[in-house]
Amino acid sequence: MARLDGRRQAPTIKVVAAAAGVSTSTVSRVFSHPHRLKESTVAHVTEVAARLGYKPSHAARALSTGRLGMIAVVVPDIANPFFPPVIRAAQANAATGGVSTVVGDTDEDPAKELDLLAELERRTDGVVLVSSRLPEEQLREVARRGHPLVLVNRDVAGVPRILVDSAPGIREAVDHLAGLGHRHIAYISGPAGSWSDEQRRDAVRERCTARGIIGTVLRSHRPEHDEGRAAAAEVLATGATAAIAFDDGLAQGALAGMAEHRIAVPAEVSIIGCDDILAATTYPPLTTVHGRGGEAGRLAVELLMELVENPEGERDRRVLLPSHLVTRSSTGPAPAAPPAPRR
């Protein structure tokens, strides 16, 4: 369709409906309530709409439904490699329903997180809050305000949440190291206030106790490469022959730190990460706990859109996604004696 100025006019919902052989109401539902239609219908209409260049009008939808056609995904650190796959999956799932996504980064600051949530309540239909650093009572207060909210990796009763359960994989990691003869394992802790870190730390302690080996928990670290490099010296100072890091970013940094101290991995120290985001690209390839972050993002949006559709719906949904260990080349038999730094 051409306009008087020669530019192509965007197709209307009526044009899409005619081309797809369906009613305009069906086209509308494809972009607002796709779960109410057959998958084949949704696929057919979205293909026709994409071919014609049709984009649903969020302004029109807001007038007719009172919704903005926008959700938010809030993370503590967008530079952390765990979060982009979560965001990507959330965006993709939202887009299938014609909903846009805005991303917020709180820089690991609970005060910024609280301010951002208050702002997003005015600007979005709902929020997926990933790895919140807020105290539990503040999270409950936010949820009580009634704006649709779904948590990822925070287990707060009464608030819908998707949890990547890394404890099974961490227990496998301890068993793996114990089976290789390691008798002292260090845990490189993640951020203070992280639910995932608490879960992983507790799993290391419990499993080390069960196996009759020493488990030393190091101080909290921001999950960054340089923090992992610094943690390498902390691991060596404990006399541990193996380390499990809060995430792959810290583990990757620990690999670099060991190299700086001229400690061979895995001949002298074994290192395990968590999340399986960077593991295949490190040297040596990193043994790690595989978590399902992308799936968590997708499911969180599903729960959120259910709440947007039905604000009085179930508020205590708890979905647990199990983890497992992936063995690569950064773990090996325990050395005869604990290593010492060499310069």
pLDDT at residue number 80: 94
pLDDT at residue number 135: 95
- CB 48: neighbour CB atoms within 10 A? 21
- CB 160: neighbour CB atoms within 10 A? 24
pLDDT in tens, 71-92: 999 999 999 999 999 999 999 9
pLDDT at residue number 5: 46
pLDDT at residue number 37: 84
pTM reported for the whole predicted model: 0.80
For 142, residues 6+ apart whose C-beta sits below 8 A from its C-beta are 114, 117, 134, 149
What string of H, E and C letters represents the secondary structure of the chain? Answer: CECCCCCECCCCHHHHHHHHCCCHHHHHHHHHCHHHCCHHHHHHHHHHHHHHCCCCCHHHHHHHHCCCCEEEEEECCCCCCCHHHHHHHHHHHHHHCCCEEEEEECCCCHHHHHHHHHHHHHHCCCEEEECCCCCHHHHHHHHHCCCCEEEECCCCCCCCEEEEECHHHHHHHHHHHHHCCCCEEEEECCCCCCHHHHHHHHHHHHHHHHHCCEEEECCCCCCCHHHHHHHHHHHHHHCCCEEEECCHHHHHHHHHHHHHCCCCCCCCCEEEEEECCCHHHCCCCCEEEECCHHHHHHHHHHHHHHHHHCCCCCCCCEEEEECEEECCCCCCCCCCCCCCCCC
pLDDT at residue number 340: 83
pLDDT at residue number 57: 62
pLDDT in tens, 303-337: 999 999 888 778 889 999 999 999 999 999 999 99
Residues of the chain below pLDDT 50: 1-7, 63
Phi, psi of 329 (to 5 degrees): -110, 5
